[in-house]
Amino acid sequence: MKITTLKKKYKNKWILAEVLKEDKLHHKVLEIKPLVVSSERNRVYDSLTKLKKGAHVATFYTGPIPKKGTVFAFTIHGQIQV
**What are the boundaries of each domain within the chain?**
3-61
Per-residue pLDDT band at 33 (split at 50, 70, 90): very high
Burial 45-56 (b: 16+ CB within 10 A, else e): bbbbeeeeeeee
- The tens digit of pLDDT for each residue in 40-81 reads 999 999 999 899 988 999 999 999 877 888 887 777 666 656
Q: What is the pLDDT of residue 80?
A: 59
Q: Tens digit of pLDDT for each residue in 1-24?
A: 998 899 899 999 999 999 999 998
Enclosing H/E stretch for 5: helix 3-9
